[in-house]
Amino acid sequence: MNLTFEGSKNYVASEELMRSVNIAIALQKPLLIKGEPGTGKTMLAEAISQALGKKLIIWNIKSTTKAQDGLYVYDVVQRLYDSQFGNEGVDDIGKYVKLGKLGEAFHSDEQVILLIDEIDKADLEFPNDLLWELDKMEFYIPETKETVKAKQRPIVIITSNAEKELPDAFLRRCIFHYIEFPDAEQMEEIIKVHFDHVEENVLKQVLATFYWIRGLYNIQKKPSTSEVIDWIRALELGGVPASKIKEAVPFAGVLLKKNEDIDTMRKFLK
């Protein structure tokens, strides 16, 4: 299988990234994608799903997420409630077991794309707790004495914002790729994917201003791809002429999300 993204929409991938995707698929290993927000990590899984015509299952990780959540949940409270009210089928424990996102991917008759999104949001033990399941593609449910094995090995994409280091044992089992933030030329391609037409001078001023702001010293939260897309929409809706974009940075709150960053930008504008 040699994947390209020609059939996917709204995604621009480098040749190196496409090679990493293909290697991960060929070696049947999870692909770990790192990069700052706005580099298209989550969109990569969507693009792979579109390009291969396969279902995408997304497991959004939060600070409270445990590995068990992705396998299955046993609703013991509902079972107790049903037993108290004499509901039928209480002895069928399987009725109260619901598969999580990983379990859903394993249970699918067809191969799916499984996105484990922002794995570094969870605690440090979370990645290690998934090692067996990702290696063996199976897990055991003691309540039902059932082993759930993957019918088709899913293509696993894992994203990280590099907010914390991941365990070495986990890293050894992944194919790793770091997505650099797009340069001006790549960003122009991305913008043109999202807009049918942007006046050339406007696009030039937008890119110059955007990268100028990202390069300012002491900017705490640099604007990302989603912000520049929203900013162009705001500029179009506001009818802002190209000459005013760099000069005044209208709708700066679309780009910058912290008061301190807006103050820093305005100080350099003076």
Interatomic CA distance for residues 208 and 223, integer angstroms:
13
Q: Which of 35-39, 145-149, 186-190, 217-221 has the lowest mean pLDDT?
A: 35-39
Pairing status of strand 113-117 against strand 175-178: unpaired
Mean pLDDT of 48-73: 94
Q: Say what the alpha-carbon torsion angle 113, 119, 121, 126 is, to the nearest 10 degrees.
A: 120
pLDDT at 207: 97
Q: What's the pLDDT tens digit per position in 78-98? A: 778 777 776 666 777 778 889
Band the pLDDT of 77: cuts 50, 70, 90.
Answer: confident
**In the beta sheet, which residues pair with residue 116?**
59, 158
Q: What local confidence, expressed as pLDDT, does residue 87 receive? A: 67
4-23 mean pLDDT: 74
Show Cβ contacts of residue 187 under 8 Å, excluding neighbours closer than 6 positions.
Answer: 207, 210, 225, 228
Average pLDDT (101-121) is 96
Q: Tokens 């094995």 — which residue?
A: 149
The C-alpha atoms of residue 34 and residue 256 are separated, in whole angstroms, by: 22
Q: Strand (E) positions, the chain?
A: 31-34, 56-60, 72-74, 97-99, 113-117, 138-141, 146-149, 155-160, 175-178
With 0-12 CB in 10 A as exposed, 13-18 as middle and 19+ as buried, what is 126? buried
Q: In this predicted model, what pLDDT tens digit does every residue of 219-268 receive, in sequence order?
A: 999 999 989 999 999 999 999 999 999 999 999 999 999 999 999 999 99
- Inform me whether the pLDDT recorded for 8 exceeds 60: no
**Confidence at residue 78, expressed as pLDDT on a 0 to 100 scale:** 78
The arithmetic mean of pLDDT across residues 14-41, rounded, is 90
Question: 207-216: per-residue pLDDT in tens?
Answer: 999 999 999 9
How far from the centroid of its chain's Cα atoms is residue 29's Cα?
18
246, burial (CB in 10 Å: exposed 0-12, middle 13-18, buried 19+): middle
Q: Is the pLDDT of residue 127 over 90?
A: yes
Q: What percent of the chain has pLDDT over 70?
A: 94
State the angle between helix axes of 41-52 and 15-27 in degrees (0 to 180), rounded to the nearest 10: 70
Amino acid sitting at position 150: A
Average pLDDT over residues 115-127: 93
Say how many C-beta atoms besides its own lie within 10 A of residue 267's C-beta. Answer: 10
| CA-closest candidate to residue 119, choices 60, 178, 58, 48 | 60
- pLDDT, residue 85, reads 72
